[in-house]
Structure 1
Amino acid sequence: MGKTWRDGSLFPIVIVLIGLVVVWYVAAVLMNWSGMSDFYQRTDVTNVTFGQQLNDVLNAEKPLLPAPHQIVSELWKTTVEQAVTSKRSLVYHGWQTLSATLLGFVMGTLFGIGLAMFIVHNQAMDRSLMPWIIASQTVPILAIAPMVIVVLNAVGIAGLIPKALISTYLSFFPVVVGMVKGFRSPEAIQLDLMRTYNASRFEVFTKLRWPIALPYLFTSMKVGVAASLVGAIVGELPAGTSNGIGARLLAGSYYGQTIQIWAALLAAALLAGGLIAIVSLAERATNARLGVRA
């Protein structure tokens, strides 16, 4: 930590974060000031000083834009002060979303790697399948999610699986594109050398294409795991469930609880950051085991 701060790599991040917080507070005051003034007029409150109004604006119960300390306070109340089994706990809702995210991410990654293998080794698959894979991502996920939920509910499949399938739909695409690029990255001279050694197609794949494609895999997985989380949250919106971060967002929008909405959004962002960090750690461990220099 000390070395990171001394070499200057952490200092710009801290400065940017401080700047964002300051801008956020200014925006919160500007957006909520007129609403508080209207409230004073409706309730016949007079002789309010600037400091009092500023304090009321920054601590409004239902602000248009919550102040950062309000969101942090809401996160504290819904994580530390609530039992993890309570439906008021963001930990509980976060786990519901995380379970679908991880299942969808694993399925999407395996599916993407498998498709990439077929595409690289079969020219007909490349010409016929790759355009459809790209076209599939042009359909908005908000249009697909309700159809997936309704169809699977009609056949008796509900809960985790529909959300995981939506996560799979979003997470497999970056893996397919990245791994196709990775599997095709060996140079012609390297492939010629493998043919000189009379290597089979399987040996070429395991000893040349796969090791070279690993950096592409981890880069794709970082994008895929974040997309998988988005898919899980989107899948919770039309499901009518009371569990998950998506359900918290819906409940907050129904009752005008903007602080709850922003707390859920921040929790989702922190969850995505944690998942990407885990993938990065796995990448470092793999590189260290293979002797790859950072």
Structure 2
Amino acid sequence: MTRALPVLTVLIGLIVIWYAAAVWMNSTWVYDQAERAGTTVTFAEMVPQTMSQDRPLLPPPHQVGAELWKGLFGQAITSKRSLVYHGYVTFKGTMMGFGLGIITGVLLAMAIVRFRVMDMSVMPWAIISQTIPIVALAPMIITLSSQLGLSGREVPKAIIAAYLSFFPVLVSMVKGLRSPDQMQLDLLKTYGASDAATFLKLRLPASMPYFFASLKVAVAASLVGTIVGELPTGAIEGLGARMLIGSQFGEPLIMWASLFASAILAGLLILVVGIVERLAQKRMGAPA
């Protein structure tokens, strides 16, 4: 309870600020309607009306919660209105991009650690690549994918997700593979260990804490990339598409519910990565 108290305090504070902001932003519509009707509205009369608008500028927490509940549990999971269905579509793209990002990041890290020329040539470009806004790059990736005959929406989304997720894996793996000190490397040399044996017995185990730490960042980045990739593709499925539909048709509740569904999905993915990390540590003999 002591550990949860600070978290609950911050959460309650955010909810209070959210409600206050909802009253302030949604009051414009209430006063406008009263002016059109030639009447006046007191503050006490205005506040309840800001809590139940069909299309509020800022939905209050209880409206978002009700819409989120309806999207998650009030629909059949095969329904096109179900957030579970759209979450699964986004989940598939996230996992494809996440897997591609891991493979790319690990292979590049191994090459950078092994070959100095790769360190001097590839690493600066990898850093520069992250300065390009993904919202500007996404349409280019989609266009190039179409020109190359990569039909469908899954491949461009996976590429965009991998673009965001490979970098934290790359940086962390380079740091992890280089973490053994010179005395440890020299000791293996005295045993006549080959470069492959040094990698498998020393560098790779030493990099695991860095690797799993990067996965928690990478899986969240992959989810963001997938959602961004759903926006310019004209997709009608996925949480990103659901947000876009809510924005285009003036349905803020749909947009906010999809946003929170994405946050829940990100939290679950990070939780799964943490479980896999603990299992791997146990397998490698780390203390519980």
The TM-score bracket by the shorter chain reads: over 0.9
In the TM superposition, what are the counterparts of 1:60-209 in structure 2 within 5 Å?
60-154=53-147, 155-209=149-203
Gaps of 5+ in 1: none
- The CA distance in 2 between the partners of 1:198 and 1:261, in whole Å, is 61
When the two chains are superposed, the root-mean-square deviation of aligned CA atoms in Å is 1.4
1:189 alignment partner AA: M
Query: How far is 1:247 from its partner?
Result: 0.7
- Check if 1:218 corresponds to 2:235: no
Preserved contact between residue 149 and residue 158 of structure 1 (Cα < 8 Å): no
Which residue does the alignment assign to 2:283?
289
Which residue does the alignment assign to 2:7?
13
- The CA distance in 2 between the partners of 1:54 and 1:165, in whole Å, is 46
Query: How far is 1:229 from its partner?
Result: 0.4
- The CA distance in 2 between the partners of 1:176 and 1:220, in whole Å, is 9
Which residue does the alignment assign to 2:235?
241
Q: Deviations over 1:185-208 (max 9, x none)?
A: 000110011101111111101110
Preserved contact between residue 167 and residue 228 of structure 1 (Cα < 8 Å): yes
Preserved contact between residue 152 and residue 158 of structure 1 (Cα < 8 Å): no
Preserved contact between residue 33 and residue 57 of structure 1 (Cα < 8 Å): yes
- Check if 1:25 corresponds to 2:22: no
When the two structures are superposed, what TM-score results if normalisation uses the length of structure 1?
0.94
Match of 1:158, SS state, is: coil
1:149 alignment partner AA: I
- The CA distance in 2 between the partners of 1:156 and 1:171, in whole Å, is 21
Query: How far is 1:288 from its partner?
Result: 2.1
- The CA distance in 2 between the partners of 1:198 and 1:223, in whole Å, is 37
Q: Deviations over 1:212-250 (max 9, x none)?
A: 100000111111001000100010011001011111111
Aligned residues: 287
Between the aligned residues of both structures, percent identity stands at 51
Preserved contact between residue 82 and residue 89 of structure 1 (Cα < 8 Å): yes
Preserved contact between residue 145 and residue 238 of structure 1 (Cα < 8 Å): yes
Which residue does the alignment assign to 1:40?
34
- The CA distance in 2 between the partners of 1:128 and 1:67, in whole Å, is 51
Preserved contact between residue 234 and residue 246 of structure 1 (Cα < 8 Å): yes
When the two structures are superposed, what TM-score results if normalisation uses the length of structure 2?
0.96
Preserved contact between residue 34 and residue 40 of structure 2 (Cα < 8 Å): no
1:10 alignment partner AA: A
Q: Deviations over 1:104-150 (max 9, x none)?
A: 10110111101100110001111111111111111111111111112
Gaps of 5+ in 2: none
